[in-house]
Structure 1
Amino acid sequence: MKLTDISRQVATAFAAVGVSSLVLVGCNNSSAPEATKEPVTEGTTETTNTEATTTSDIDPEHSKIVIGTTEGDFADMVRNQVKGSLEAQGYEVELVTFTDYVRPNVALADGDLDINIFQHKPYLDTFKKENNLDLVEVFQVPTAPLGIYAGKKTKIEEVYKGMSVSAPNDPSNFARALVMMNELGWITLKDNIDPLTASKADIADNSKYDIKIVELEAAQLPRARDEVDFAIINGNYATDSGIKLTEALFQEPSFAYVNWSAVKTADKDKKWVKDVTNAYNSDAFKKYAHDTFPGYKYPKIWGADKSTNTSTAASTAPVEDPAK
């Protein structure tokens, strides 16, 4: 599949209807550990957000906000900036962290969370459709892009026939991994496939390098780097494991996967949701994000396409038939 075709399809895929039910396979809920709840801070806490006030200007019907995220940068954004900002406004804030991509939406729908922040829109759209959940996206958040990182091999030029590449096993992110490998010329995808739902069945040719694709739960990818030649790792799990985004050998160029917050549809116009939205779009949070998360892709309303560092490694072109 031509690279220009992939780029065009990613840019227009959000308008497509009928995402495959395969997108939800792969996140094993039953084996995942319990979610981690962090204690609510008693009273108002100090915050670096100069825009916050200590007056009680909160939603009178919703004084405590329970935020669910995956562990890593999204959780750090709450701990280090958003929590203090909302508490200074008068809210109580509890952070609940997860290690998988299934339970945050289920917990939100069940009322155990007020809002979650961990997923891109294609995943949310498909999950709520397949599980009949009444959820809606609210605002975007800074997102670490998917990247290819060194495993046993440390350079893109070290590709060889029969190499192993690990990838996230949830189909939405697995599709992204396939698109990345297609862009590098490692595999060839079929023409006219939907890049948001690409699967192994959409691989037209894997004969160039005969890649063994090792599918793992996203949180396990950083720990398993020494077991494969290259690892395709979600940005939040990379940074949570101490891997710098600048260490990526290649990053996905698409802006289709900047992550969103989600709430129940019935809550979308409530004051507390607007207050959380304002906290994530305040000048103080923007400064924090740019200072703390270099190389991330930022919300579109921030002017992400212009301000984000989207550079990749100096060389991303694979060498033909390199030695092992």
Structure 2
Amino acid sequence: MRNNRAMTIVPHRVAVLAIDQVVGLDLGTPSQVFGTARTKDLRPLYTVDACTPGGRSVRSTAGYQVLPDHGLELVEAADTVVVPGIHGGPALTDGILDPEVAAALRAAHERGARIMSICTGAFVLAAAGLLDGRRATTHWAYADLFRRLYPAVDLDPDVLFIDSDDVLTSAGVAAGLDLCLHVIRTDHGSEVANRSARRCVVPPWRDGGQAQYIERPVPHRAGTGTAGTREWARQRLHEPVTLRDLAEHARMSVRTFTRHFRSETGLSPAQWLLQERTDHARLLLETTDLTVDQVAHRCGFGTAAALRQQLRQRIGVAPSAYRRAFHRHP
């Protein structure tokens, strides 16, 4: 007989804290991404609600006002607090934050809540004093301003997101999606995160250390992209797929294929293949009882030693340690 109490899932509570000049896309990202994270029987793993100081309306940069259902009391009860980006206001221009907001963020952090920012939301966290002495990121275009206002923060504007355990920051726009998926992956594993990514129609994983932006993307005509070839390669990760194989499948020269591939993914074909193989290995370590040797062969690494080297390089742990931390039995 099943223990119904053991089967009960209490959703993780996420509060999205908006202040004046909030970026509309950033404001909607947490509810969209976390809202898709569900168990296989469709039970929600997160609840997401928005709040503002005093529950008052705030202006967005998208030409509308936001009137939430909650005030800062939501921050007091949340397990995770997300601060979207802003495109104006004293936190961005002068390093000054509403004392009520700063106190609420500091109190949440002190009681153990996870604190996250998207894009220039890092200015809000810095103004609250939560980033002093920490490594953090924000949108690359605001890096110089950020350094002038918050010199005590170790800013790295060349990455998509930074996970400092209890305080996480991300770069602009799509990097907020990456950070939310990273959190889902950390909380519930690759299988749940991949399903969320599929629902959101975004890549399931971009390494946080990946560069923020791609210089001078090359536009391509319909029918000349590499998406079909990338999917073809994903089905053959266990095979020794070469650059020439990829180019031939896409019916392009190697040079043209490489140019298109980098413009669409921000990675070289070799970097992308290595990332896909590593991510697939992580999924197999989390969701199967295959030996490390079997996982290595199924992902195209050939040997457990090669897989071990890549996992240590990417996430700093060996396959066995990763499995102990993240393995989930059906």
Could you say whether these structures have the same fold, taking a TM-score greater than 0.5 normalized by the shorter chain as the test? Answer: no
User: Which interval holds the TM-score relative to the shorter structure?
Assistant: under 0.3
Q: Which has the higher contact order (CA 8 A, sep 6+)?
A: 1
Bigger Rg, which one: 2
| Greater strand share, structure number | 1
If the length of structure 2 is used for normalisation, what is the TM-score?
0.25
| Greater helix share, structure number | 2
If the length of structure 1 is used for normalisation, what is the TM-score?
0.25
